[in-house]
Amino acid sequence: MNQSHADTLKVPGATLHHEVSGAGPVLLLIPRRGSLSQRPLGRREGNL
C-alpha cells in the first residue's frame, strides 16, 4: 500500500504546498501566478 504525505514549506515571500504519493519518477507541477491550484489538469470529453 502506498502512503501519501502533504505538507507546506515556508520560503521568503511564499508558502509552498507539496504532496508525495505513490512510487515512480518525480513529477513537479508549478502553476502560473494567480492560477487555481486545485483546477483539474484536463477535461474528459464525451460520455465515458
Give the chain as a 3 state SS string: CCCEEEEEEEECCEEEEEEEECCCCCCCCCCCCCCCCCCCCCCCCCCC
Q: Taking a C-beta distance cutoff of 8 angstroms, is the pair 28, 35 a contact?
A: no
d(CA 35, CA 7): 20
Q: What pTM did the predictor assign? A: 0.43
**Sign of the Cα pseudo-torsion (37, 39, 43, 44, in order):** positive
Q: How confident is the model at residue 9 (pLDDT cuts 50, 70, 90)?
A: confident
Percent of the chain with pLDDT over 70: 58
